Structures are given as C-alpha cells and as structure tokens.
Amino acid sequence: MKKYILGAVASTVIGFATAFIWHLLLFQNLYTQLGVIGRIEPNIPLGFIANLALALTLSYLYPKLVSSEKNSNPILGGIRFGVIIGILNIIFWVLKFAATQPLSSIPTFMAIEGAFELIQPTLIGIALGFVYRKRI
C-alpha cells in the first residue's frame, strides 16, 4: 500500500506538472491556433482531478504489468510501461479527437499532442519504476 500511495503521489505531481507546462506554458498559443483550446480559462481543478485519477490508475497497473524480475532496471521498465500507456493514449484520445474536432491542422495536432502523450506517461513510468523497483 505504501508503494501504491507513493507511486500515485509521484504520478500526480509529474502528470500535473507536465500537463501544465506543456499545455499552458509552452504550447498554449499553438493549441489555441489549432482550435483545441475552447475555453479562455482552463478548469485547473478538473484537470487536477483527471490527473489524480490517472495517477491512481497507473500506480495500480504498474506492478501488475511490469514484472520486477524481468525489469530490474527501473528506468527501462518505466520507459516500456510509459510508451505502452502513451500509445494507448494516442489511440484513445489523439486519433479520436483529430477525427471529430475541427482542427486547423490535423498533422500538427497529432504531432504535438502525440509527443505529449508519449513524454508524460514515460516520465510517470520512470518514476513508478523507481517506486516499485525490487530492492536488494
């Protein structure tokens, strides 16, 4: 239970920080130009709740999907986990959004959001790799 909570806290901090930096500091103007950001002021509390729910889920899934015997290197195990989650995010979120929303540039949106959806869960995966690493 201690590792689960620590993993959820680490995932929440990394998830919220990367989403905030990526979407609101680095690329807010680009997302606005693409037609992705529809509200003037983002609902940060709702975004935090979404990140918390994701963090709780990822912290639960990590030890079930990543074998500590096969992945004694927490960085490599975390990267594998993060890339798998990122690919699922791209399929479930990026492709569907691009298919249904009036974006000014679908390729640009897919590139920028696809990159985010690989980077964020990979950073979270690495943190979870260290939380759940097998101690010798």
The model carries a pTM of 0.88
How far, in whole angstroms, is CA 124 from its chain's centroid? 7
Whether the per-residue pLDDT at 6 is higher than 60: the answer is: yes
pLDDT confidence band for 76 (50 / 70 / 90): very high
Q: What is the pLDDT of residue 69?
A: 61
- The answer to whether 94 and 110 have CB atoms below 8 angstroms apart is yes
Kindly state the average pLDDT of the residues 56-71: 83
Whether the per-residue pLDDT at 62 is higher than 80: the answer is: yes
Cα separation, 24 vs 43, in Å, equals 12
Task: Output DSSP code: residue 117.
Answer: H
Among candidate residues 57, 51, 117, the one with its CA nearest the CA of residue 84 = 117
Q: Is 57 helix (H, G, I), strand (E, B) or coil?
A: helix
Higher pLDDT, 45 or 135: 45
Q: Retrieve residue 91's tokens.
A: 């399929």
> Structural domain boundaries of the chain?
2-131
Q: What is the pLDDT of residue 68?
A: 65
pLDDT in tens, 112-134: 999 999 999 999 999 999 999 87
